[in-house]
Amino acid sequence: MLTPPTAPKRPHSIIRHNDERIDPYYWLMQRDDPEVIAHLRAENAYQQESFEPLKALENELYDEIKNRIEETDISVPVRRGKWWFFERTREGLDYPISCRVPSNANDETPPTIDPLSTLEGEQVVFDENLEAEGHDFLSIGVLSVSPDDQWVAVGTDFEGNERHTVTIRALAGQVAVPDELSDVYYGFAWANDSRHFFYTRVDEAMRPWQLWRHELGTAGEHDVLVYQEDDEQFTVSVGKSRDDAKVVLLIGSSTTTEVRFLSADEPTSSLTLLEPRRQGIEYGVEHFRDSKQRGWWLKITNEDATDFRLLARLEESSEWRELIGHRPGHRLDGVDAFKDFLAISERRDGCATVRVVGVLDGDDPFGADLLDRSRMIDADTSPSTVSLSANVSYETSLLRVDITSLVTPHLIADVVAATGETIVRKQQQIRGGYDASKYVTGRLWVEASDGVQIPVSYVARRDLMVESGDGVTRAAAPGPLMLYGYGSYEISIDPAFSSLRLSLLDRGIIFAIAHVRGGGEMGRSWYEMGKLAQKPTTFSDFCTVARQLIDDQWTTPATLAIRGGSAGGLLMGAAMNLAPELFRCVVAEVPFVDALTTMLDASLPLTVGEWEEWGNPDESATAYRTMKAYSPYDNVRATNDDGSPRIYPHLFAAGGLNDSRVGFWEPAKWVLRLRDANSSNRAYLKTEMGAGHGGPSGRYEAWRDEAQVLAFIVNEITSSEE
């Protein structure tokens, strides 16, 4: 066995609510300390050397991943105005190339494009590979073509810290402009004059708080601050309505939203408040122009509706009219407006789906019951995920959707809004062949301690499964299984196909997703039952699912792996503390495992805005006690209740030095504390020294990264070693 790195213990006292915590590794938070960097490099060297025996398996997995993917490919073209836009990927190149070809404005059938050759009239809008030359990392946070098709705004991040530099590139042979804007965040909107655009900036805590306006060809110091949000619990984001009528500013916290807007034809005009913020009231809007060119606002809101309802009003009116009422258990996620129809994104039976409402015309486009006039877009497999794909054009009769499941490669289709006809444009191709009939997917329901049924989606090789007497497909015998979880922010981990996952399935490993509370799979109440004071429910749900899978002989503790990232990494750490005996190994990527320390430090990125999700332990003694009781770093123990040594599952943790969301020090400190608890605990840490929250940016490096993670999992749960 190799000897893992150690780090000096420099006790740091943190006192709140008459309680003192001693953190021996608090000093590791100093990113610019050479000793910290040296320690991270030592951890990387230890991890790399320890994984050397897995190198052959890693290479095998990498080749499998790479060989299943069409490296030279194109996306389905998307029409916007006079152009079809699409992306190319080419074998050997890490990044996509954004392209366009002229379109017939009346033609809604995408052109047929050969991935191996260039189409007549094709132009390169932006080649990320050229931009990445000389850099180890590249992320594009802004890529937006002006309404007149003359310019493209590009926001680049070469460090992974999500602070972008925006430049303006010429697309039609005109003289270039020197415009360059720094520290730009996500979100961008061109005005209709193609001379002005809007963007956001962050404060020192990485909170997007300012909306700025820039005029093409002018120096950045002349930009105009349009709006500043001083409440630290709120962030701002900007976009443009699909009908090109409005520039919309969304101001929101975790529980409250407010919308302001201005005419996209009058970029220097002042913002207008749509509805003032009211604590606990969330709403999102879409703009619609009817056949008489009257403007309407459509609003999805939780006011008097836990799972949201849809309302509408004419712009000049102040009276909202309900279009779709509250339906408990049917969460309305959003509304998208087009010239003749609406697309409603919602959740039904724990799955994401889309409802099409059309045709909208006449004096009162919303006169009849919308649900009676709507149709669902269904998938052939259950559980499945139906979601909106790229839908740029307002003047269209087609809705583009993405249909997938754990056994169904992503299918991109256009749905004719008036008839419901589905036109398949492309289905993800798996090189080497893929036979969906060799696999089976389904959903289990596991009863939690309070009687609530927790959904669990799974996929496995068909020959490993049997159908029991009650008609439910089950594992034929206990075997290796990987259980994934997240459970925060009302984010749903919906079942979707991954060709990378086939390397697990083909080795006899079952893959499952525990849709635990704190996520949004089963509606808003599902989220509320796993946040703030009820956050521990997320962790107990996950352990209950794992225990039931073992009891029902799907797997064993010696063959069960678990995986999660970010807030899902918090779930991994909490589950390890609650029931270490259930799991063989754990993968925790950019894990939020030092939750209490982070939530006590308002100077750290995102902390203040996160108090509505986790609680404010600085202000509330109750929130402090709750978080202290589950924060993974604070609950690592050397012994069990009976005094025996506590042995934790084998851990592979990953962080990013430039991560602006979860500090790199969180997994670094956690790994050290696990080793301190028991020298037999095998814990490995890999820190990306030039990347952030999302890991490596190039696709080949990302595949290599995934191959290493899968090699760790496969080795742990398919080996006979205990």
| pLDDT at residue 70 greater than cutoff 80 | yes
What is the spatial distance between Cα 568 and Cα 471, in angstroms, rounded to a whole number? 32
- β-partners of residue 513 are 457, 484
Mean pLDDT of 514-537: 98
Please, which pLDDT band fits residue 1 given cuts at 50, 70 and 90? confident
pLDDT score, position 360: 82
pLDDT score, position 297: 97
List of residues 6+ apart from 433 with CB closer than 8 A? none
Can you name the CATH fold of 12-67+433-717?
Rossmann fold (3.40.50)
| pLDDT at residue 278 greater than cutoff 70 | yes
Q: Which residues are catalytic?
A: 566, 659, 693
User: How is residue 271 annotated by DSSP?
Assistant: P
Please, which pLDDT band fits residue 378 given cuts at 50, 70 and 90? confident
Mean pLDDT of 200-221: 95
Question: How does the average pLDDT of the chain come out, rounded?
Answer: 96
Quick check: bond before 359 cis, omega within 30? yes
Please, which pLDDT band fits residue 359 given cuts at 50, 70 and 90? confident
Please, which pLDDT band fits residue 472 given cuts at 50, 70 and 90? confident
- Estimate to the nearest angstrom the gap between the alpha carbon of 93 and the chain centroid: 24
Length of the chain (residues): 722
| pLDDT at residue 511 greater than cutoff 60 | yes
Please, which pLDDT band fits residue 495 given cuts at 50, 70 and 90? very high
- Interval 125-141: pLDDT, tens: 999 999 999 999 999 99
| pLDDT at residue 177 greater than cutoff 90 | yes
State what percent of residues in the chain have pLDDT above 70: 99
State what percent of residues in the chain have pLDDT above 90: 93
pLDDT score, position 300: 98
What is the spatial distance between Cα 213 and Cα 431, in angstroms, rounded to a whole number? 46
| pLDDT at residue 196 greater than cutoff 90 | yes
| pLDDT at residue 721 greater than cutoff 50 | no
Please, which pLDDT band fits residue 410 given cuts at 50, 70 and 90? very high
| pLDDT at residue 722 greater than cutoff 60 | no
| pLDDT at residue 720 greater than cutoff 80 | no
For residue 557, what are its two tokens?
Answer: 């503790």
- Interval 94-135: pLDDT, tens: 999 999 999 986 789 999 999 999 999 999 999 999 999 999
pLDDT score, position 364: 86
What is the spatial distance between Cα 396 and Cα 342, in angstroms, rounded to a whole number? 11
- Interval 139-156: pLDDT, tens: 999 999 999 999 999 999
